[in-house]
């Protein structure tokens, strides 16, 4: 294939960058590809590129660069209003922070994801993100007994499912609140 024959077309420029990034397993080429795709509004492909770059950086032990790639991927996912991609990028970042015992950064990552999901009325995903934050707080040795943010979102989840006639999902969320309280020592 002679990429030069189509070098003036941005789509094929992206395809060429992607091909080189795949063949070379080069995180910098993935970053370049992701930047081009994100700039053009192809956020899912941008996230794909940033995720690949981050994974390659991680495999090379370059945690700082991996975090930066995941952060850019998260920004693209948020621009796309795509919660699922935001979850993936956040969980990758938070895992690195956790492994480095950078508890504040891990907590903030999860809480920011919780707020993003909350804005979109994705109560389950928001509650789950806030529960991950609670886990990081506990791992850091902090008192979590007053951290009720997940409970508030599980309660919203209950109301959502009751409104939509899915009582079994509402019951599950109600039971889950009690388990959360038990696990984290919540007395409220």
Region 178-184: mean pLDDT is: 93
Per the domain annotation, does 45 fall within a domain? yes
**pTM score of the predicted model:** 0.90
Rounded CA gap, 38 and 159, in Å?
37
Q: Give residue 62's pLDDT band: very low, low, confident or very high (50, 70, 90).
A: very high
92 and 108 assigned to the same domain: no
In the predicted model, is pLDDT for residue 4 greater than 90?
A: no
- Residue that is last in its domain, among 100, 131, 157: 100
* Domain final residue, candidates 100, 127, 159: 100
pLDDT, tens digit, 9 for 90 and up, residues 33-53: 999 999 999 999 999 999 999
CATH number at residue 47: 1.25.40
Q: How many domains does the chain have?
A: 2
Distance CA 101, CA 63 (A): 13
């Amino acid at each position: 294939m002679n990429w030069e024959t189509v070098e003036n077309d941005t789509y094929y420029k992206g395809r060429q960058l992607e091909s080189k990034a795949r063949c070379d397993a080069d995180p910098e080429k993935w970053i370049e590809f992701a930047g081009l795709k994100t700039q053009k509004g192809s956020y899912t492909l941008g996230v794909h590129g940033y995720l690949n770059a981050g994974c390659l950086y991680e495999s090379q032990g370059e945690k700082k660069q991996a975090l930066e790639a995941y952060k850019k991927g998260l920004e693209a996912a948020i621009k796309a209003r795509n919660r699922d991609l935001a979850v993936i990028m956040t969980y990758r970042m938070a895992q690195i922070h956790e492994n480095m015992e950078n508890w504040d950064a891990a907590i903030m990552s999860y809480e920011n994801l919780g707020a993003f999901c909350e804005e979109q009325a994705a109560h389950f995903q928001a509650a789950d993100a806030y529960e991950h934050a609670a886990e990081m707080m506990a791992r850091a040795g902090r008192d979590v007994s007053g951290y009720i943010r997940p409970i508030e979102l599980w309660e919203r989840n209950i109301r959502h499912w009751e409104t939509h006639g899915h009582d079994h999902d509402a019951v599950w969320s109600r039971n889950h609140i009690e388990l959360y309280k038990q696990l984290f020592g919540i007395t409220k």
